[in-house]
Amino acid sequence: MPMETDTLEFNANVEGDWYFHCHILYHMMSGMGRVFTYENQATNPLIPNPKLAQRRLYAEDRQFHLMAENDFATNGNDGMLMIQNTRWSIGTEWRLGYNGMHGYETETHIGRYIGKMQWFMPFIGFDWRYRKFGMDEVEKNIFGQSNTKDNRSLLSLSIKNKLINIIL
């Protein structure tokens, strides 16, 4: 799990520091890289200040990385853009129709993971949607609330958990 401490054994046949990392760059920048050192080994003469070197190496874990996806289709364009690091998540998704019937929609959020294990993330977001199928029907749920699937503009405050998502 993220920020988890694990124990592993391996046959290190050369003395010195070993850097274990994920080969996917944004994974490595998000914390999937660590230095393993032998117990009671002599200090590396090429690193005069090991504590500072380790702090600089692990500071890269907090660098932001960008992920994007875009799809052009016959009826519109879908995509997403996310900027994240080990603590912050800023993202947006969109669906843009080529005409009013297909409409458009965007969902944007910003949040911060809390705790060492990152079990939950409070975030604030915005959802904006419009589409028109040519029908002026108003659907209501069992509580008498109108359906906003075709025209919606709302602000959300949520807590995202690994197991559940609570919308306030």
CB 37 within 8 A of CB 17: yes
CB 130 within 8 A of CB 150: yes
What number of other Cβ atoms are within 10 A of residue 43's Cβ?
9
Q: Domain boundaries in the chain?
A: 18-62, 65-167
pLDDT digits (tens, 9 = 90+) for 117-168: 777 889 999 999 887 765 556 677 788 777 666 777 889 888 877 655 555 5
Residue 110's pLDDT is: 96
Residue 86's pLDDT is: 79
Residue 8's pLDDT is: 72
Confidence of residue 29 (pLDDT cuts 50, 70, 90): low
pLDDT digits (tens, 9 = 90+) for 60-118: 667 788 899 999 988 889 999 999 887 889 999 999 988 777 788 999 999 998 877 77
Across 16-40, average pLDDT: 74
Find the largest Cα–Cα distance for the chain: 77
Residue 162's pLDDT is: 60
Token pair in block for residue 29:
């920048």
Which among 101, 117, 88 is positioned nearest to 29, based on CA atoms? 88
